[in-house]
Structure 1
Amino acid sequence: MKKMITLAVIAITMLVIISVQSCKKTDLVESTTTDVNILAYLKQFPDQFSSLVNIIDKVGYSDFLNAYGTYTLFAPTNAAVKTWLQQKGKGSIDQMDADELKGLLKLHLLEEVVNTSNFTDGKLPAATMYGQYLITGVANKEGSSSYIVNRQAYITQPNITTGNGVIQVIDGVLTPAQYSVAQLLEQDASFSIFLQAVKETGYYDTLNVVQQGDVRKWYTLIAENNQALADSGYSSYAALKARYCNTGDPKNAVDSLHLFVAYHILPDIKYLADIVMAGSHETLAPLEVITDKVVNQQVLLNDDEFNGEHEQGVLIDQASSDVSATNGVLHRATAHLPMKLRSPFPVYWDLAQFPELTRLAAYYRKANYVFEYGSDIADVKWEKGSLTYQNGKSGFLGDYLQIQLGTSSSGSWIEFTTPLLVKGKYKVWFCYRQEASGGDKNVTCQVSFDSVPLTSALVQFHVKNSTVDAAKDAEQEALGWKCYMVPAAGFAVGRMVGIVDVKVTGRHKLKLSVAAGSNGTNDMDMVHFIPVGANQIYPRFKTDGTLVTTP
């Protein structure tokens, strides 16, 4: 059985808005600390940053970079700007078009603070002001490991704190992606067979769209090169078409070649760091998903175990992947990746992991944080009151979410959007941390799935496991109870609230509604969707995220 933790990760840009009211001048707050702001810092070191300051002045960004805010600036040195100008065939910044300079500067700016401690081997948590994501990694430079940005520039001075953000000094100028995903594929001759399939099925046009009306389009393409296809017996497009095209029309939505190409496209932008943070990914092939796992620091797709048999996965060529496009990212598969019809697999969902939380680097897994009612969280909604992220606890990954329910100042429900679930039947376990409330401070809640109440049990946050004796695990499971943590503890409660029949692979709604009572400290940790007939008791989890698969 595949063991997988589905962790929501979708990166969203945090906007810092400076309001200017009509007919009334609003003074910008210069700083809230004794540190100088970004622009003032750059001006202190003209031997390093005079060229960058000149660009900032030329595009009119001086005011906001010297005003209150939370920014990250990747600051190229004078030498870096000089090299870039030479590559452009220009003798000075004054010879550059102002709009091009503005776009360039936006690519170097994020509207939130990101220190190197928050870097991953993949994209940063928010897009730049230019609208594209930067990727970071570690590479060897002159015998030592250094951070590299967009595979274009090394960080030479990290984490310079200013009054309105942080500066990361880089030794090169970052340049934006110029080509769509489709165009990237077309530029590489090693993808010629796969490219023809993309064109014949009509997906070239899909992968060439950057903006559709007011909607920015993002795609992830997992492409197979000619060698990968030849290794599986498809040395030409004709051979690939003969194998897959079963209707005679590759553009037909139900044609197997059409579905084969669709299966390689994810309807979002997912760098490798995003891919490995979630156990499965929706594709453009209806109802079908790609799974992933990391083995020996390598990313494998569709490397699964079903019915006790291991299905060999496809390795991603990490060195040739994470190629940014204007509308997404391109990855390279090292072998043929056929569409796989999925059986249901378990999803162990951490409720305290969603993009709006994980990008709060100063808080996530470090300190408590309060989301006030109305906070813009895409996958979590509640009636009123606040939602608190509790860190340093004994929940999965050392945290959980806490909400007031049924009180005069709080609401009566909270609703989550689930991770992707493959069609099939699942037992649903709601996992919470029991807190002894007593008296009139007990709350009982009904769980619903896609607006349908689950009828096996209600969630009573004040009730704990009656026993954690391993010898009684089967007996407790039959009664709809389990302990989901290691070491076992009565307050780590898994309650089987019902069985759901997921008709369509995708994301669904899970809602918790007050049935009776009230309480201000209701601790929500995980939800387990485990296929009927599969092991419901294991794996269990340690607070550091380690899976324990056997007693």
Structure 2
Amino acid sequence: MNNKDILQLLVCGLMIAALAIFGCKKVDYSPGTTSDVNITGYLEKYSDSFSLFKQILDRTETSDFLNAYGAYTCFAPTNSGVKTWLAKIGAASVEAADLNKLKDMVKFHLLTDTITTASFKDGKLPVPTMFGQFLVTGVSNEGGSSSYTINRQSLVTQSNIKVGNGYIHQLNRVLEPSTLTIAQQLEAKPEYTIFVEALKETGFYTLLNTVDPDTTKRWMTVMAESNTALADSGINNYAQLKDRYNNTGNAANTNDSLHMYVAYHILTGVKFLGDIINAPSHTTLEPQEVISIELINQNVVLNQVEFNGVTETGVTINRPVSDNAATNGVWHDAKAHFTVKYRKPTAVFWDVSTFPEILKLPAYYQKQSYTWRRQSEADEPFKEITWGWGSLASTNIFTYSYSTTSSLTRYAVNNDVNQLPLGLPARPTWWEMTTPAIIKGKYKVWMCYSRSKQSSSSNNLCQVSVNGDLMPRTMNFTDLRPKGSDAELEAIGWKQYTEVRAYNTDSNYAGRLVGTYEFKTTQRQTIRITNLTGTQNNNFLDMIHFIPIDDNQVWPKFKTDGTKTYQ
């Protein structure tokens, strides 16, 4: 017998042995996606902690569907928490409790999605409960240890318990949904009497006291001012507030300044602080007026803006007493008095090379060039600048270019420009930037650049859009500024934006009018440069001017140190 025959006999023997051992046994197959118990099974398994909550699920006929396949998150209160809650509602036992109240309690502890503590940010969870209200998470620090909190009502004592149909988070208290509207909650607090009186006289109290069955219309957000916040601005009672703003004699009149003041404190939609900080501005019930948002050292600050180098200090939200959920939305507490500001349109001469990331590099800003490189399409190195990903990795870069000797930056404002590679197929197809705050009104938009033409055939024709709206005129980074007087140039949509100098490359510094745009709201805006034809790396953007249509479009001009020069 050779080795091959011996090996075949051994294999046959092993197969026979396997059949003898397993042949008469039943093989169990799990119909689910995991062998873990489901939510109901887990609560049964740990009845010492959850028997009362399980009884509530049984009585509300919820146990069966939480034992089936699905994707849920359950916030499960322990027995001690349920006992405390039953005593609070006056029920001696689960069987003695009102059935509808038990059903609402269960709905408020369930989400139809799988949510782990990775989503427990300072604010509401990404999906509402089955009750229809959002849960708010936070962190509590007691005795040197930190714990997650839910709705400021309960601590998470064990988290991310993975079960077959989702996750369980163990709570030490029962969560209770809001039962009062925003208006009712504010009225119940004596520290907001002046603001509530203003809500009533302007008619907004009725709006904030309504729970619209249509959830697309129900939710509102209020930035409330306490009596203390108003007192800091010399307003100690409602009569003084009314005297300051009630200019028509009818606070319900939409043209009345008191009505405008209150409308400006109400935002559309439900916006917890976690939502508020994710957008640069939010619309209010005062038409075309927005509240701008800045996150400064973890402080949420309203309406802190800079106009032409002058910073207007904003109002900070009092985080510990904000994120107050109501049946029709949420309200926050503003630490100081604020109201809408009606400003006259004012020119913005934006030096695009003063973006936050370069200002944080004092070794480079106005000293030497610096390049950022995106490692992938998802990589976003800037807060206020982004670009369309190009297929050539080496051109997915952004360069802050500075030099006092280069012909491309020597006579630029502050001797620096932003270098923007553009052009299909390899280079970015567009660049987008967030502007400084611009007061609402109608403006002419001027793109000011240092002209470069890498070769005789180089061409880079671009389209500019503002807030997604295309400007009627194109621009080309390879075009020289035409010759002519200021009046002649302006008539054909050009200007010299730098101070007049007698040098050969003077016409490299060109201001190109791309169109007129009406800004509907006072806030920071979005501008995008999109490549149409041609391609090159050396496109050098120096400034963008937003000038009210009735203002002088040619003056002032700018010196290399950034100062203005006039006629």
Greater C-alpha radius of gyration: 2
User: Partners of 1:305 and 1:513 in 2: how far apart?
Assistant: 27
Question: Superposed, which structure 2 residues align to 1:239-278 within 5 Å?
Answer: 239-278=240-279
| Cα deviation, residue 222, structure 1 | 1.0
Aligned to 1:384: none
User: Partners of 1:97 and 1:193 in 2: how far apart?
Assistant: 38
User: Partners of 1:67 and 1:396 in 2: how far apart?
Assistant: 46
Aligned to 2:219: 218
Aligned to 1:231: 232
Question: Superposed, which structure 2 residues align to 1:168-187 within 5 Å?
Answer: 168-187=169-188
User: Partners of 2:91 and 2:267 in 1: how far apart?
Assistant: 40
Bigger mean CA offset, 325-334 vs 198-207: 325-334
User: Partners of 1:477 and 1:297 in 2: how far apart?
Assistant: 41
Alignment check: 8 A CA contact 1:177 1:326 kept:
yes
| Cα deviation, residue 273, structure 1 | 1.6
User: Partners of 1:507 and 1:196 in 2: how far apart?
Assistant: 33
| Cα deviation, residue 505, structure 1 | 6.7
Q: Unmatched 5+ residue regions in structure 1? A: 1-28, 349-389, 404-417, 430-443, 460-473, 481-495, 517-528, 535-551
Quick check: 1:140 aligned with 2:154? no
Change (3 A) 1:248 1:180: same
Change (3 A) 1:257 1:393: closer
Give the number of the structure with larger relative contact order, counting CA–CA contacts within 8 Å between residues 6 or more apart.
1
| Cα deviation, residue 428, structure 1 | 11
| Cα deviation, residue 318, structure 1 | 1.3
Q: Deviations over 1:320-352 (max 9, x none)?
A: 111111111111112111222366999x9xxxx
Question: Residue 36 of structure 1 aligns to a residue in which SS?
Answer: coil
Question: Superposed, which structure 2 residues align to 1:120-131 within 5 Å?
Answer: 120-131=121-132
Alignment check: 8 A CA contact 2:178 2:327 kept:
yes
Tell me which of 499, 518, 532 is aligned to 1:501: 518
Quick check: 1:329 aligned with 2:343? no
Question: Residue 62 of structure 1 aligns to a residue in which SS?
Answer: coil
User: Partners of 1:202 and 1:50 in 2: how far apart?
Assistant: 49
Change (3 A) 1:149 1:394: closer
Change (3 A) 1:175 1:395: same
Change (3 A) 1:168 1:479: farther
| Cα deviation, residue 62, structure 1 | 2.1
Aligned to 1:423: 440
User: Partners of 1:211 and 1:66 in 2: how far apart?
Assistant: 34
Question: Superposed, which structure 2 residues align to 1:338-377 within 5 Å?
Answer: 338-341=339-342
Change (3 A) 1:197 1:457: same
Change (3 A) 1:476 1:136: farther
- One-letter code aligned to 1:92: S
- One-letter code aligned to 1:264: H
User: Partners of 1:446 and 1:211 in 2: how far apart?
Assistant: 44
Question: Residue 209 of structure 1 aligns to a residue in which SS?
Answer: coil
Normalised by the length of structure 2, the TM-score is 0.62
Normalised by the length of structure 1, the TM-score is 0.63
Change (3 A) 1:139 1:268: same
Alignment check: 8 A CA contact 1:159 1:168 kept:
yes
Question: Superposed, which structure 2 residues align to 1:423-502 within 5 Å?
Answer: 423-424=440-441, 425=443, 453-457=470-474, 500-502=517-519
User: Partners of 2:181 and 2:152 in 1: how far apart?
Assistant: 18
Quick check: 1:532 aligned with 2:566? no
RMSD over equivalenced CA pairs, Å: 4.1
Alignment check: 8 A CA contact 1:30 1:68 kept:
no
Alignment check: 8 A CA contact 2:195 2:224 kept:
yes
Change (3 A) 1:174 1:216: farther
Question: Residue 306 of structure 2 aligns to a residue in which SS?
Answer: strand
Question: Residue 117 of structure 1 aligns to a residue in which SS?
Answer: helix
Aligned to 1:54: 55
Task: Figure out how many residues of one structure are paired with residues of the other and give that number.
Answer: 399
Aligned to 1:108: 109
Alignment check: 8 A CA contact 1:30 1:66 kept:
no
Bigger mean CA offset, 147-156 vs 206-215: 206-215
Aligned to 1:94: 95
Aligned to 1:312: 313
Quick check: 1:205 aligned with 2:206? yes
Q: Unmatched 5+ residue regions in structure 2? A: 1-29, 353-375, 391-433, 448-460, 477-505, 534-542, 549-567
Change (3 A) 1:445 1:327: farther
- One-letter code aligned to 2:42: Y
Aligned to 2:298: 297
- One-letter code aligned to 2:231: A
Aligned to 2:21: none
Question: Residue 64 of structure 2 aligns to a residue in which SS?
Answer: helix
Q: Deviations over 1:463-518 (max 9, x none)?
A: xxxxxxxxxxx9999599xxxxxxxxxxxxxxx987643346799999999999xx
Question: Residue 160 of structure 1 aligns to a residue in which SS?
Answer: strand
Question: Superposed, which structure 2 residues align to 1:372-411 within 5 Å?
Answer: 392-393=378-379
Alignment check: 8 A CA contact 1:287 1:422 kept:
no
